[in-house]
C-alpha cells in the first residue's frame, strides 16, 4: 500500500465533508454494506487458529501476489469458478427469480473482467491500475453427484430470517468444487458477508447476500448490484481498503495496511459518500474501488488482482482446486446446454375458484418450446417465451388437478417427473353455521374440510378421550417439541357474504410444565383472500391467557370442563365478508405442554341481530348461549341459539335471584346486549322449548 502522512487540516476537512454528504441512494436504512468483520470475528471465536494462521501466512500471501505482479502479461490464464446459488426462503420476496440471479452473475463477471460499462468514469489517478482480474464465474450445470443441475437450489426454511452460519448447514456443496452463494431475507444485518479463506470451517464457507442486494433487477437495483462483487473480494482474501474492520472514516485508519501495494492508505469512505477528490491520508483515495463503501465502485486494482489470484493458487480453503480442468469437467460449467430437465414452480398450490395462478418455468437447458397440461382439460403450448414460458392459468372448477410441463428443443423433449398438485376450493364449502367437535362422522373434520400444515415438530392431530364435549378434540403433542416448531390447522372456505358480523367461538386447554413457564402461542387467524394473506384476530400467550389448568409434570390432558376455557371472536370488518373466507389456528411451540382446541362454532349475524341459517342445524347441536366479553365491565353481548320461534333469557345473581327477564323473538337465534350489570357473578339462563342452559358471567369494575 502507498504510505503517506495526512495533515490534521486535511483530515479535519475530510471529516467535515462527511457531515455534508447526501443520503445513500439505494442503501436500506439500518443495513450495513458488509458484515464481513462481524462474521470473521465470530468465525475466529469458534476457530481461534484461523486468525493466527492468517497472521502467520500474510507474508507468504504478499510474496505470492508480488510474484504474480512480476510475471506481468505472462499471467493471463482465465480462472473459471463454478458457482451454486442456494435461495433460502419463506415464500416471500427473498425467493428471487432466476432472472435476478442471472443478472447478478452478469454484473459479477463484468466487474471481474473490467467489462462494466462505467469503467470510463474511473478518475484519472487510477485508470492505469484498473484491472481485468481474469476470473470468471459460471453457474454449475452438475451437482456434487454429477447429476444435471441448474446451479440454483431453492429451499423453504425460516432460517432465511436468521441468515447465520446455522442457515448454511441446511445445504453446503463442497467448497473444493463450488463457490456457495446464499440468498436470504437477512444477512446478519448487512447487505452481505463472508469470511476470508481458512483451513477451518469448511461447512460455513460461502457468501451470504440479502435478497435485495443481488444483481440490479427484481428486488434489488443498480445501486446495490456490486454487493456480490465486494463479497467475492473478501472470499478471495481482500480486506477493505482501510483494513480489516467495519469502521471507515476513523483517524487511525491511516496507519492500517490492507496488504495491497497500489491501494493508497485511506480512512475509508462513509457509507454512500462518493467524493472523487477525497484525499484522507495525504494522497488521493481510491473511492471507486469495489472494496470501499462509497456505492460508486467501478474497479479493482492490479495489486488486488494479484492478491486474489494468489488466493486461487493457494491450498487454503481448497481455492486452488476450483479452477482445475477436472473440476471444470465435474461441475459441467462449460458443457453445451443440453436439455435435461423439465421443472416449474407456482406461486400457490391452494386457491379458490376464479383465482389466477402464475406458473414459472425452471427447466434447463436451452428450452425452445413449452407444453403445459393443467389437469383440468386445458393445455397450452408454443414457442414464444414471452407467452408460453411462464403462463397464468385460472381453474374454473373445484377439485385437485395435476399439472405437468413438457419442454423441447432440437435435441428432444422431456416432461416433469412429478406433477404439481393444485387444490382448487369452491366458495362456501363450509355451510354456516359451522359446529366442529372433531367427532367421528360429524362435522367438517370428518368431511376433510380442514387441513394440517407443520413446520417441523408435532402437528395438530385428533386426541381420543380428551374433549370439552363429546369424546374427541384436536391437540398438539407439544410435550415432544423442543421449541420453535409451528403447526397450523386451516379450514376450507366459509361463505360470509351479506353478514353484519361473524362470530367465531372455540374452547381451548393448555398447561405449563412444572419445570418451566414458557411463552407458547395460540393464534386465531382469518383470511379474506382464500389463504393468500392472514390476519391474526386473537393471540393467546403462555405468559398471559393461554394456560387453563395447573402445571403438569407429565403430559397434560384436560381432565374436565374446569381445565378448559373459551373465546368468542367477533369480526365486523366488511372486508372479510367474502364467499371464500378461511380461518386457521396456528400454534407456535416454546417448549411447553400439550395444547387442545374443541367445539369450534362459526356463525353469521345479520343487521337485525338474527343468527343466520340456524334452523338447518340439528336440534341437539343448535341450542346454546355465549357471552362476550366475559369477564365484562358491565356491558355484555349475548348470543343465544335455539330451534324454534322464541325463547327467554333470564339474568340471575349468584344466589339465583332473578334480576332480569328478556324475551327473545326470532327464528333460530338472536343477539342482545345487556347493560348496567352490577359487579359480581351473574348467571345467564336460556329457556326454549323445554330446554335450559346456564352460563356463568363475571362483571368487574
Catalytic residue ranges:
231
SS (H, E, C) 507-545: EEEECCECCECCCCEEEEEEECCCCCCCEEEEEEECCCC
In our burial notation (b when 16+ CB lie closer than 10 A, e otherwise), range 52-71 reads: ebbeebeeebbebbeebbee
SS3 content of the chain, % helix, strand, coil (to 5): 20, 30, 45
Set of cell numbers at residue 98: 432466476
The candidate with the shortest Cα–Cα distance to 260, out of 4, 2, 76, is: 2
Set of cell numbers at residue 333: 460449467
Measured distance CA(18)–CA(20) in Å, rounded: 5
182, β-bridge pairs: 86, 208
The candidate with the shortest Cα–Cα distance to 224, out of 100, 363, 69, is: 100
Alpha carbon 642 to its chain's center: 46
Give just the sign of the alpha carbon dihedral 408, 409, 414, 418. negative
CB under 8 Å to 371, separation ≥6 — which residues? 379, 380, 381, 405, 406, 407, 408
The candidate with the shortest Cα–Cα distance to 644, out of 691, 694, 684, 695, is: 691
Give just the sign of the alpha carbon dihedral 186, 38, 272, 234. negative
The answer to whether 142 touches 332, Cβ cutoff 8 Å, is yes
Taking the CA atoms of the chain, what radius of gyration do you get in angstroms? 33
Categorise residue 259: left if φ over 0, alpha if ψ from -120 to 50, beta otherwise: left
The answer to whether 505 touches 434, Cβ cutoff 8 Å, is no
Set of cell numbers at residue 608: 337485525
Amino acid at each position: 500500500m502507498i504510505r503517506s502522512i495526512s495533515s490534521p487540516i486535511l483530515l479535519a476537512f475530510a471529516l467535515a465533508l462527511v457531515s455534508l454528504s447526501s443520503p445513500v441512494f439505494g442503501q436500506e436504512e439500518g443495513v450495513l454494506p458488509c458484515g464481513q468483520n462481524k462474521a470473521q470475528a465470530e468465525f475466529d471465536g469458534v476457530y481461534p487458529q484461523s486468525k493466527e494462521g492468517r497472521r502467520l501466512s500474510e507474508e507468504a500471501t504478499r510474496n505470492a501476489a508480488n510474484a504474480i505482479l512480476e510475471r506481468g502479461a505472462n499471467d493471463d490464464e482465465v480462472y473459471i469458478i463454478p458457482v451454486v446459488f442456494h435461495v433460502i426462503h419463506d415464500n416471500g420476496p427473498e425467493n428471487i427469480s432466476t432472472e435476478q440471479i442471472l443478472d447478478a452473475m452478469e454484473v459479477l463477471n463484468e466487474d471481474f473482467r473490467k467489462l462494466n460499462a462505467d469503467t470510463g468514469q474511473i478518475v484519472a489517478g487510477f485508470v492505469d491500475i484498473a484491472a481485468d482480474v481474469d476470473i470468471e464465474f459460471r453457474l454449475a450445470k452438475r451437482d456434487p453427484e454429477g447429476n444435471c443441475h441448474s446451479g440454483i437450489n431453492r429451499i423453504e426454511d425460516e432460517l432465511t430470517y436468521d441468515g447465520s452460519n446455522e442457515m448454511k448447514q441446511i445445504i453446503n456443496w463442497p467448497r473444493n468444487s463450488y463457490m456457495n452463494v446464499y440468498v436470504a431475507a437477512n444477512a446478519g444485518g448487512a447487505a452481505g458477508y463472508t469470511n476470508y479463506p481458512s483451513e477451518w470451517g469448511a461447512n460455513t464457507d460461502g457468501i451470504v447476500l440479502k435478497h435485495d442486494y443481488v444483481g440490479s433487477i427484481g428486488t434489488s437495483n443498480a445501486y446495490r448490484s456490486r454487493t456480490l462483487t465486494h463479497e467475492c473480494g473478501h472470499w478471495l482474501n481482500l480486506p477493505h481498503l482501510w483494513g480489516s474492520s467495519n469502521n471507515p472514516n476513523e483517524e487511525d485508519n491511516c496507519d492500517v495496511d490492507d496488504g495491497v501495494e497500489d491501494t493508497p492508505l485511506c480512512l475509508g469512505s462513509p457509507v454512500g459518500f462518493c467524493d472523487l477528490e477525497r484525499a484522507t491520508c495525504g494522497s488521493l483515495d481510491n473511492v471507486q474501488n469495489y472494496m470501499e463503501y462509497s456505492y460508486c465502485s467501478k474497479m479493482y486494482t492490479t495489486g488486488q488482482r494479484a492478491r486474489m489470484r494468489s488466493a486461487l493458487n493457494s491450498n487454503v480453503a481448497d481455492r486452488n482446486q476450483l479452477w482445475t480442468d477436472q473440476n471444470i469437467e465435474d461441475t459441467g460449467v462449460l458443457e453445451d446446454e443440453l436439455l435435461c430437465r423439465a421443472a416449474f414452480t407456482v406461486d400457490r398450490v391452494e386457491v379458490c375458484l376464479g383465482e389466477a395462478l402464475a406458473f414459472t418455468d425452471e427447466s434447463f437447458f436451452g428450452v425452445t418450446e413449452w407444453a403445459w397440461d393443467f389437469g383440468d382439460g386445458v393445455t397450452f403450448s408454443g414457442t414464444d417465451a414471452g407467452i408460453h414460458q411462464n403462463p397464468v392459468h385460472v381453474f374454473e372448477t373445484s377439485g385437485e388437478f395435476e399439472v405437468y410441463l413438457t419442454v423441447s428443443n432440437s435435441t428432444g423433449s422431456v416432461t416433469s417427473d412429478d406433477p404439481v398438485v393444485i387444490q382448487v376450493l369452491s366458495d362456501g364449502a363450509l355451510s354456516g353455521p359451522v359446529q366442529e367437535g372433531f367427532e367421528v362422522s360429524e362435522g367438517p373434520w370428518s368431511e376433510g374440510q380442514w387441513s394440517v400444515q407443520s413446520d417441523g415438530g408435532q402437528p395438530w392431530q385428533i386426541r381420543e378421550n380428551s374433549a370439552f364435549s363429546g369424546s374427541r378434540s384436536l391437540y398438539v403433542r407439544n410435550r415432544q417439541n423442543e421449541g420453535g416448531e409451528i403447526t397450523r390447522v386451516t379450514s376450507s372456505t366459509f361463505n360470509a357474504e351479506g353478514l353484519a358480523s361473524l362470530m367465531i367461538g372455540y374452547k381451548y386447554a393448555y398447561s405449563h410444565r412444572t419445570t418451566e413457564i414458557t411463552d407458547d402461542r395460540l393464534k386465531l387467524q382469518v383470511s379474506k383472500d382464500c389463504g393468500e394473506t392472514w390476519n391474526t384476530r386473537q393471540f393467546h400467550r403462555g405468559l398471559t391467557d393461554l394456560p387453563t389448568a395447573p402445571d403438569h409434570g407429565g403430559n397434560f390432558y384436560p381432565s374436565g370442563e374446569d381445565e378448559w376455557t373459551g373465546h368468542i371472536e367477533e369480526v365486523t370488518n366488511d372486508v372479510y365478508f367474502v364467499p371464500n373466507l378461511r380461518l386457521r389456528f396456528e400454534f407456535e411451540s416454546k417448549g411447553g405442554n400439550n395444547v387442545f382446541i374443541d367445539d369450534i362454532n362459526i356463525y353469521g349475524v345479520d343487521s337485525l341481530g338474527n343468527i343466520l341459517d340456524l334452523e338447518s342445524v340439528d336440534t341437539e347441536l343448535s341450542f346454546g348461549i355465549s357471552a362476550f366479553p366475559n369477564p365484562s365491565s358491565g356491558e355484555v353481548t349475548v348470543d343465544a341459539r335455539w330451534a324454534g320461534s322464541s325463547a327467554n333469557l333470564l339474568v340471575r345473581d349468584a344466589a339465583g335471584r332473578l334480576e332480569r327477564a328478556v324475551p327473545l323473538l326470532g327464528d333460530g337465534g338472536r343477539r342482545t346486549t345487556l347493560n348496567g350489570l352490577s359487579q359480581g357473578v351473574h348467571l345467564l339462563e336460556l329457556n326454549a322449548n323445554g330446554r335450559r342452559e346456564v352460563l356463568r358471567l363475571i362483571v368487574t369494575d
